Each structure stands twice: as structure tokens, then as C-alpha cells.
Amino acid sequence: MHAVPPAALVETAHVRRGLGRLLWVIPLAAAVLSIAFAYRALSGRGPTIVLFADHGHGIGAGDALRFLGIEVGEVTAVGLSERDSGQEVRIEVRVMQDAARLARAGTSFWVVRPELSLDSVQGLETIIGAQYIALSPGPKDAESRTEFTVLAEPPLADDVRHKDGLEIVLEAPTRFGLQPGAGISYRGVRIGSVTGVGLSSDATMVEVRALVRRAYAQLVRERSVFWETGGFEFGLSIASGLEVDLDSLRTALIGGIAMATPVDAGEPVTRGTRFPLNADVDDDWLDWEPALPLGNDLLPPGAVLPKLLRATLSWTEGRVLKTKERRSGWMCVEADGLLGPADLLLVPDDAREGRAKLEVAGRVLDVGVLLAQGAIEPRGNALAVLKPVAFTEGWNELRAAHADETTGTRRPLLDAEDLIIVREGGRAPIGISASRLSGGGDSMDVDSRIPLTGEWHGAVAMARHDGAIVGFVLIAKDGTARIAPTR
């Protein structure tokens, strides 16, 4: 045998002692890391809240609480609980510390699960994944709470919940399977929702209470019709087999209502107006194509509506058989005068001398004198401006009463685009689609189906996408309408 050198024995002993110390360090470090992770986890945990629900819908421990798509808590326990109201499901949720402020009075909770609606599919991710609980926070200054009641259904949209729109009542012989939240559509576009369904006070019919969004309230007129769109259609053929209409299948699941308005629509209705709810649609209703106002709600935020004044040109014609003629329109208050149709600021060829008068802003002005004084200036495109000199010392007061320093932007109408036509007199604006305009340059013709009568002569055309004033409406003697672009 070979003898081990003393120096090697000493080195081996040092290595063994080093390894022994390392074996103590590893479990100690692991324990420290475990404590650190546990502390971090515990420090991020917020309060535990308790939710009471009529049904669990498959919610279990480990499922998430989410807000705006972000996990803000976790279900820790689910069981039965008996309160004064009867047997319920009791759900305990641990809320994350940074989301603890969401647990306050007015906060709504509901279980997100697959749901097919008229215009969307909600909770689709829960078909292949776990269901979860969503929340909508209450007022920011509300007090904290630890117990809440889970909603049976997701909350209604804000405009429905806050009644921001036109409330109407539809009378039906039966419920038609309608539920709160079912949609009301116009040409396939959702314009409102059902807010409640119940029996009439004498139980002779079903009353369906509905809310049409404020931007679409002008679509509902005296002669509007409504029909139920539930049920679904299917066909069977050798070539294609069973065919099911998907849109009608959706409404069969949650209910739906459609509406149409004829060309002779009548006046806009007021809150609480009642309509019959038809079981079927008349094919003629689907052919109706009225042009109806949608209001300045469709203008972009911050758009400034113009200030308009009613002007009337009157004159006497004939020498033996004298007749009185008149023409009216709107004039826009500008910084340099009143801008409007040129045919309101001229002396007609058949007018007797000195008999052409302009009534505007409480004044009666002689048009012949105004022309002689240079108080009327042509602006092209059949527009003209009445200068401030026509009002002598009263112009500053007049302008201050009808306009401010922010009169909105102006630009020319170069190509057909979506417009909003506005005027005074309490009439709602009218929306005009770009497809209803033709021509270009100095004039754009308006489709005859757009209801622009003589009352809209001189109304202002505003661009829908930026709110700029782009032209004026001119109504000819034969009733045709065109837009005269601004320069």
C-alpha cells in the first residue's frame, strides 16, 4: 500500500468541513426564500368578501374575480348559506390588496358564463375555460363593504340603467319570451333595449317597457311599427341538409324587437308613448326608407352649433292687381355679418320700387337701400352676407346675443361626405349620408327622399366627422334641395 502524504490528509479534511457547512446553508436559504415568498403573497392579499347568490353556476374555489379583464381576486370557498331570505349560495372571495377599494357600496357582481345576445356573444372564453366572477365598481366615495348580493344577470348598459333616452311602452298579447336587456333594432342596428316586462294593471295584456338610446330617439315617430323577432327559421333540402338562420336563432334564445318607420312618419313621440307589438312583420314595412333626423348627438364632441336667425323677404308686385309675395330662410350669425341665401338679399325683378323689405332680428330693412349702401356683399355659390352697417349701432348687441367668439370651424365641401343639417326653431337636425349627395364644385344635389322642405332654406350643413361648417342648404322653387359649399 502507498502511504497518503500528511498534506493531502489535511486538504481532504478541509473540503469535508466546507461541504458540511454548505449542507447547512442550503436548507437555511430555502427557508428564508419560502418565508420571503410567503410574506410577499400575504402582503398582496386584501380583505375577504362574501357574495350571496341564488345559484352557483359552477363557480368553485380557485376561480377568478375579474375587473376590466384583469384578475383582482380569487374564490376561496363555496358553500350553502341560510339567511333570512332563504337558502342561498355563499361565495368567499379573497380580494387583492391593490383592488381592495373596489369592495364598496354600489359595486355589482355577477357570474360570467356563455351567453348569446342579439348583437354579441358574451363569456365565450368560459366555454373552454373556467367561469369567473366580474364586477362593476360603485361610486368612488362610497363606503367599504364586505357582503354583496350577486346579480342574476349582467347589469344593463349605462344608457339603459340611467334612462338616458326615450322610454316607450309596447303592448303585446303575450310575453314573446322577451327578457330585460333584449335588443331593439332598426335596419339591423341596435338602437335600444327592453328594460322590463310585466302585466298591465288590468292583466289584459303584457307591457314591454323599452328605452331607445338618445341618439336614435328621433327614429321613433307616430306611425312607427314594432314587431317581435323571436323564433327561428330552418329549411331542409337534399343538397344542403338542415339549414338554420343563425340571427333568428340568437333572438330565439333571448328575445328581440325590430322597428320600422314609414316615409309619412308623423311627429316625434314623447316619453311614455304606447305602441302595439306585432307578432309578425309585414313585408311592406321592410321597404320603407324614410330619411329621419338623428340629431347633433352624431356630431363629434366639442362641435359648436351655429347661431341662426329667421329672415323673411317680402315684396309687392304688379301695378294694377297688386299681390304680396314672400320668401323665408335662415341666416347664420358671423363675425362680419349675417350669411345666408342670396335670394333673401335682393330685389326681385317683379317687385315694385321700394317695396322689397327684409325682416330679420326684429328689424324691417329696405333691400334697395341696403344694396345702394353696399351693405349686401355676394359671397358666391348663391350666398350673400348682410354687413353690420345695416344694423347701425345695434350690431354689437345683436352679435353678442346670438354668437360668441367660438363660432366653429369652416371649410369647403369638396367631396360628398356624411352631413348633419341644423337649423333653429326647435326642429331636430337631419342626418344626410354621403350616398345621398351628388355633384360637386359649386353645388351638391340632395336626394329627393331627404325631407328638406322650404323650412330648411338657409340651414347650415355640418360635417359629421369633424363638426366643421361646410355649406348651406338652398331650396329651389320646385322643391329640390342642394348644398352650397362655403368658400
> Using one digit for the tens of pLDDT, what is the confidence trace for 264-277?
888 889 889 999 99
pLDDT digits (tens, 9 = 90+) for 398-427: 777 655 444 568 888 888 999 989 887 556
**Domain final position from 402, 432, 464:** 402
From 426, 334, 419, select the one nearest 377 (Cα to Cα): 334
**Domain final position from 151, 168, 197:** 151
Residue 140 lies in a domain: yes
Lowest mean pLDDT across 109-118, 194-203, 280-289, 409-418? 109-118
Coil/strand/helix, residue 10: helix
> Of all residues in the chain, what percent carry a pLDDT higher than 90?
34
Confidence at residue 3, expressed as pLDDT on a 0 to 100 scale: 54
Instruction: Give first-to-last CA distance, the chain, whole Å.
Output: 114
User: Over 50: is that where the pLDDT of 447 sits?
Assistant: yes
Give the distance, in angstroms, between the CA of residue 470 and the centroid of all CA atoms in the same chain: 24
CB burial of residue 12 (10 Å; 0-12, 13-18, 19+): exposed
If asked whether residues 82 and 177 sit together in one domain, one would say no
Residue 475 lies in a domain: no
HSE (CB half, 13 Å, CA atoms) of 272? 0
User: Over 80: is that where the pLDDT of 135 sits?
Assistant: yes
Contact between residue 262 and residue 215 where contact means Cβ atoms under 8 Å apart:
no
CA–CA separation, 261 and 224 (whole Å): 4
For residue 242, the enclosing domain spans 158-290
If asked whether residues 116 and 165 sit together in one domain, one would say no
If asked whether residues 191 and 284 sit together in one domain, one would say yes
Contact between residue 300 and residue 465 where contact means Cβ atoms under 8 Å apart:
yes
Lowest mean pLDDT across 263-267, 303-307, 373-377, 388-392? 303-307
If asked whether residues 166 and 236 sit together in one domain, one would say yes
Residue 35 lies in a domain: yes
Confidence at residue 244, expressed as pLDDT on a 0 to 100 scale: 44
Identify the residue whose cell numbers are 502507498: 2
If asked whether residues 171 and 279 sit together in one domain, one would say yes
If asked whether residues 176 and 283 sit together in one domain, one would say yes
Amino acid, res. 41: A
If asked whether residues 231 and 285 sit together in one domain, one would say yes
From 423, 456, 452, 427, select the one nearest 437 (Cα to Cα): 452
If asked whether residues 94 and 130 sit together in one domain, one would say yes
Residue 125 lies in a domain: yes
How sure is the predictor about 5, in pLDDT bands with cuts at 50, 70 and 90?
low
If asked whether residues 163 and 218 sit together in one domain, one would say yes
Contact between residue 411 and residue 455 where contact means Cβ atoms under 8 Å apart:
no
**Per mean pLDDT, which of 121-135, 160-174, 229-243 is the most reliable?**
160-174
Q: Which set of grid coordinates corresponds to residue 420? A: 348633419
Confidence at residue 34, expressed as pLDDT on a 0 to 100 scale: 61
Amino acid, res. 175: R
Confidence at residue 328, expressed as pLDDT on a 0 to 100 scale: 94
Give the distance, in angstroms, between the CA of residue 113 and the centroid of all CA atoms in the same chain: 26
If asked whether residues 171 and 286 sit together in one domain, one would say yes
Q: What is the mean pLDDT of residues 477-481?
A: 92
Q: Which residue has the higher pLDDT, 440 or 12?
A: 440
Residue 445 lies in a domain: no
Task: Collect all residues with Cβ–Cβ distance below 8 Å to 290 and sequence separation of at least 6.
Answer: 261, 262, 263, 265, 449, 451
User: Over 80: is that where the pLDDT of 47 sits?
Assistant: yes
If asked whether residues 249 and 166 sit together in one domain, one would say yes
Q: Which set of grid coordinates corresponds to residue 439? A: 355633384
Contact between residue 149 and residue 51 where contact means Cβ atoms under 8 Å apart:
yes
Stated as kind and residue range, the H or E segment containing 384 is: strand 383-386
**Diameter of the chain measured on Cα atoms:** 154
Indicate the pTM of the whole model.
Answer: 0.51
Identify the residue whose cell numbers are 317683379: 350
CA–CA separation, 448 and 436 (whole Å): 9
CB count in 10 Å sphere of residue 325: 15
If asked whether residues 35 and 50 sit together in one domain, one would say no
**Domain final position from 258, 290, 322:** 290
Confidence at residue 349, expressed as pLDDT on a 0 to 100 scale: 85
Residue 213 lies in a domain: yes
Residue 422 lies in a domain: no
Could you give the number of structural domains in the chain?
Answer: 4
Amino acid, res. 437: L
Residue 353 lies in a domain: yes
Contact between residue 327 and residue 441 where contact means Cβ atoms under 8 Å apart:
no
